[in-house]
Amino acid sequence: MSKFQPVTSADPNAPLPGVVGTGSAMTEIFRLVRRVAPTQATVLVVGETGTGKELIARSVHVLSNRADGPYVRVNCGALNESLLESELFGHIKGAFTGAIENKTGRFEAAHGGTIFLDEISSMSPKLQVKLLRVLQENEFERVGESKTIRVDTRVVAATNQLLEDEVEAGNFRDDLYYRLNVVPVYLPPLRERKGDIIDLARHFLKRHADINKVEAPEWTAAIEPVLMAHDWPGNVRELENYMARAVVLCRGGTLDAHAIGLPGRSERRYKPAASSKGRPGDLPTLVRQIVRMGIQSLPDGALHDRLVGDVERELIEQVMSDCEQVQVKAAQKLGINRNTLHKKLSDYGDHATPAAEKV
């Protein structure tokens, strides 16, 4: 059976083809993808590198009525503007130096199926205009040709950036963003779905044992806290790489933490600071805390910086709570870049003692 063959299930929460996860965050994604897949809606998958965005895109395709049609993937960040334009829309012979024959573009090749545009945020302004036209009119011209080509192609796009930030910075067209963001799917990083780590590790261990035609290393309970303690900055892809290494280095033996070679550092886990009075965002409480620390002891400008920093922290904690600790959603709500939010939370984790307990 093909890895991405459609899976028939009456359960809307059933896992997607090729996707492992049992936590509430992934169950919500399974439900959303199963609802949107049979439609013609454009899907925007948002998540850090290595979270499995292409698996979601493939699931949208195989669960749709286009499953028998082509599935075409394009990495928009891997090519410069001219090459990407030719790759997406094709060209005719003589259109530019090196164009020795006609070329069919990926949009044309995906007619009747799905095209997956990865790293969409890296697309140049010129190509954004052409993509917008395809989304609006389902038509385009090959490079060097005036003949209009019409296609019936569903678009699934993916990005590891918050496109709202790119729009605000003037790097991404707002009208294109609205066309792409019909149904957004936010993939949480692995550190925010810790409950899936063990199931994923077992899954990848078996997969790579089968690929290498060897017996999988024996799983032991001792390896589990090692896997759970790592923060997995490379997400699911990093976990898979470590399990592939384990198959090679622990072949025929017991799964060994030393052979896997995980860094000896603990997860920098986000913990909302406790407050002696009030709830997060209680500014009078915050002011009282600062006063108790002694304003007179603060150098010029330090009071302002402290106030701004603590108010920012209170706000982020409240939004994280409202978003159930899902950083991608919180970053969008706060209007900041996902990586910026993660760095701030990491900094808070390094200085987790609340101000009220320091005085």
Q: Give tens-digit pLDDT for 292-339.
A: 444 444 455 555 566 667 777 778 888 887 777 778 778 777 777 777
- Average pLDDT of span 102-122: 94
Q: Does residue 289 have a pLDDT over 60?
A: no
Q: Is 58 exposed, middle or buried (0-12, 13-18, 19+ CB in 10 A)?
A: buried
- Model pTM score: 0.70
Burial class (CB in 10 A: 0-12, 13-18, 19+), 227: buried
Percent share of the chain, pLDDT over 70: 80
* CATH for the stretch 191-260: 1.10.8.60
Is the pLDDT reported for residue 137 higher than 60?
A: yes
Residues with Cβ within 8 Å of residue 7, at least 6 apart in sequence: 14, 16, 17
Q: In this model, does residue 3 exceed pLDDT 60?
A: no
Q: Which two tokens stand for residue 205?
A: 């261990």
The domain spans of the chain are 24-188, 191-260, 283-358
Q: Does domain 24-188 have CATH number 3.40.50.11310?
A: no
Q: What CATH superfamily is the domain 283-358?
A: Homeodomain-like (1.10.10.60)
Measured between alpha carbons, how far is 243 from 168 in angstroms, rounded to an integer? 40
Q: How wide is the angle at C-alpha 248 spanned by C-alphas 3 and 202, nearest 5°?
A: 50
Q: What is the pLDDT of residues 169-197, one digit of tens each?
A: 999 999 999 999 999 999 999 999 999 99
Instruction: Give pairs for 219-225: CB < 8 Å, separation 24+.
Output: 219/255, 220/254, 220/255, 222/257, 223/255, 223/256, 223/257, 223/260, 224/198
Q: Backbone dihedral region of 294: left (phi > 0), alpha (psi from -120 to 50 degrees) or beta?
A: left
- pLDDT at residue 10, rounded to an integer: 54
Beta strands in 151-199 (DSSP E): 154-159, 183-186
Residue 321: what pLDDT? 79
Name the more confident of 322 and 86. 86
How, if at all, do strands 139-141 and 148-150 pair?
antiparallel
Of residues 334 and 110, more confidence is placed in 110
Token pair, residue 31, equals 């439900």
